[in-house]
C-alpha cells in the first residue's frame, strides 16, 4: 500500500477499522485500488435478507474522478442494470473530490432502500416499478434471496 496516495491508504484503513453497518469492503491483496464489497440488504426494504457483492475500483485520477463501482450480484432494481452498473448521481456528474469511498458505499446502500424509478438505468424494471410497485418490490425481494459465490472473506 505504500505506493498509494495517502488519501487512499487512510480511507482504506478507516473502512477496515471502522466499517459502516451492513457494508464490508476489502482491498484486493494484489491491487489495493480494487475492492471487493458486500452490502447487506437494508432493513425494511425489498432487499432485506440479501447480501449483494460489488466491485469498486479507484482510477489513477481518484479523487478527482469518481470510483468505478458495479454490482456482481444480479438484482432487480430500476437504478441498476443487468451488467451491475449503477445509476447514482455521485458516481457521475455530482462527483466531488470531497466525497470518499465510504460516502459512495453508503449512497449505494441507500439506493437499495429507496429505488428511484424516475431516474432509471433499467427502463423495463422502472416501468414495472411505476405500474405495480408492490409486485416490483416482491420481485426485488425474490431476487435478493440469492446465493453468491463469496470471493473474499472479511475478518473481524
Query: What residues are labeled active site?
Result: 87
User: How are beta strands 34-40 and 68-71 bridged, if at all?
Assistant: unpaired
67, 56 contact by CB (below 8 A): yes
User: How are beta strands 23-27 and 68-71 bridged, if at all?
Assistant: unpaired
98, 81 contact by CB (below 8 A): no
State the Cα–Cα distance between residues 67 and 70, nearest whole angstrom.
10
Q: What is the DSSP letter of 123?
A: H
In sequence order, which ranges of the chain are alpha helices (DSSP H)?
A: 6-17, 101-113, 123-131, 133-144
Q: What is the DSSP letter of 130?
A: H
Give counts: helices (H), strands (E), the chain.
Answer: 4, 4
72, 141 contact by CB (below 8 A): no
Amino acid at each position: 500500500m505504500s505506493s498509494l496516495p495517502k488519501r487512499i491508504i487512510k480511507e482504506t484503513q478507516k473502512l477496515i477499522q471502522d466499517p459502516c453497518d451492513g457494508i464490508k469492503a476489502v482491498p484486493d491483496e494484489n491491487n489495493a485500488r480494487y475492492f471487493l464489497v458486500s452490502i447487506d440488504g437494508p432493513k425494511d426494504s425489498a432487499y432485506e435478507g440479501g447480501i449483494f457483492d460489488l466491485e469498486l475500483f479507484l482510477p489513477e485520477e481518484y479523487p478527482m474522478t469518481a470510483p468505478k463501482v458495479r454490482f456482481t450480484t444480479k438484482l432487480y432494481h430500476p437504478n441498476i442494470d443487468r451488467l451491475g452498473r449503477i445509476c447514482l448521481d455521485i458516481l457521475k456528474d455530482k462527483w466531488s473530490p470531497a466525497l470518499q469511498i465510504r460516502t459512495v458505499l453508503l449512497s449505494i446502500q441507500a439506493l437499495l432502500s429507496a429505488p428511484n424509478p424516475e431516474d432509471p438505468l433499467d427502463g423495463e424494471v422502472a416501468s414495472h416499478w411505476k405500474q405495480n410497485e408492490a409486485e416490483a418490490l416482491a420481485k426485488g425481494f425474490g431476487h435478493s434471496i440469492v446465493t453468491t459465490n463469496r470471493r473474499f472473506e472479511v475478518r473481524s
